[in-house]
Amino acid sequence: MDRIRIRGGRQLHGTIPVSGAKNAALPLMIASLLTDDTLTLENVPHLADVEQLIRILGNHGVDYSVNGRRENQSKGYSRTIHFTARSIVDTTAPYELVSKMRASFWVIGPLLARMGEARVSLPGGCAIGTRPVDLFIEGLHALGAEIDIENGYVVAKAKNGLNGTRYRFPKVSVGATHVLMMAATLAKGETVLENAAREPEIVNLADCLNAMGAKISGAGTSTITIQGVTSLSGARQRIIPDRIETGTYALAVAMTGGDVLLEGARADLLETALDVIEQTGVEITRANTGIRVRRNGVGIHPVDVETAPFPGFPTDLQAQFMALMTKAKGQSRITETIFENRFMHVQELARLGARISLSGQTAIVDGVDRLKGAPVMATDLRASVSLVIAGLAAEGETIVNRVYHLDRGFERLEEKLSGCGADIERISG
């Protein structure tokens, strides 16, 4: 099993290209199930989750090519991929595939809308809380689907098609918003989704669906209106730059010091996070070419933060920000409001010398002068990269184990960091 070795203490200087957003790529790929034409997606990152979803879509009959040919398995930077679901050969998404990645559960919406039925295993993914699928089931039921749970599978049927409705999410859910928006594109009549997620990835999906012939308005606000159409066509859509990757590398520069251009990053996708990072003493310059992040000689200021749905501070940057606060000059408080079990990185950061105590959903971090390298274990995608950030500033050698979590969400992480001066390498086997 691969590991990552880091020898800390080096500042970062140079340019890091920001990849396409994983959290946008996955729903856009799933949208290919809604049409028998070809959907072409640009700026698709080369990630384990993307490859896993390609396999899942293939199980349903989706063919794909990369820049006009079948993909070889060499790892490159973001690509253009063509997806064609000429015919759906299977409406079942089996446990052995879905259990490896939660987002694959989202195929239930397009399959139900296009085929009138879907049988999808209850999902897996990162162990960061229960994250139930109740909102998905309630929303699809509101659209007229008959739904049962049988032997660990959600079985959904709509023999006469789905019908438009007005549905208010009991709580904001990005995944459920994706699924109901896709399903409603082929429903009869108008659907209004209230208390919908406002994330940029929702807007990216809506733009893609509209390019395919859907009639969606309000994406990016809490109320999304969808006028159902009888069919969708192919389209070409570019995936937005990854705001979580952007924030992660910005925090890495904040941690180590240095001067890095995050090439292709869009500040409008994470303004709240950038504002918080600036409060720690980091200089951030927004430009057409990307975002420049600098910290030279200035100590890290402690900042309290609370995660929240967009446009608030992202839960997917909480662990990385906590890593930064371990070196702050004072005490900070980090409150997690999205997931109930997303502090598993705390005990691993403590192995590096961090001083963190937990009180309910709040972590109290007392900054230390020095972190020291140690073997650590990744527990989920974002937690694993927080250990990398800490290791970049720790004295001596840090070994991060179970880095397959990193491969799910960060394209060529070691290469990007080493290109800016970090002493980091992957150890195979």
d(CA 332, CA 309): 21
Give the span between the Cα atoms of 370 and 211, in whole angstroms: 52
Query: Binding site membership for UDP-N-acetyl-alpha-D-glucosamine: which residues?
Result: 102, 131-135, 171-174, 316, 338
Tell me, yes or no, if 208 is annotated catalytic.
Answer: no
Which residues, in sequence order, are bridge partners of residue 81?
Answer: 41, 66
Whether the upstream peptide bond of residue 170 has omega within 30° of 0, thus cis, is: no
* Binding-site sequence positions: 22-23, 102, 131-135, 171-174, 316, 338
Q: Is 26 left (phi over 0), alpha (psi -120 to 50) or beta?
A: alpha
* Beta bridge pairs of residue 286: 291
What is the rounded CA–CA span in Å between residue 28 and residue 200? 13
Q: Which residues are annotated as a binding site for phosphoenolpyruvate?
A: 22-23
Cα R_g (the chain), whole angstroms: 21
**φ and ψ of 112, to 5 deg:** -65, -40
Say how far apart CA 160 and CA 224 lie, in whole Å.
24
Residue pair 41/29 in contact by the 8 Å Cβ criterion = yes
Of 12, 101, 126, 181, the active-site residue reads 126
Catalytic residues, by residue number, are: 126
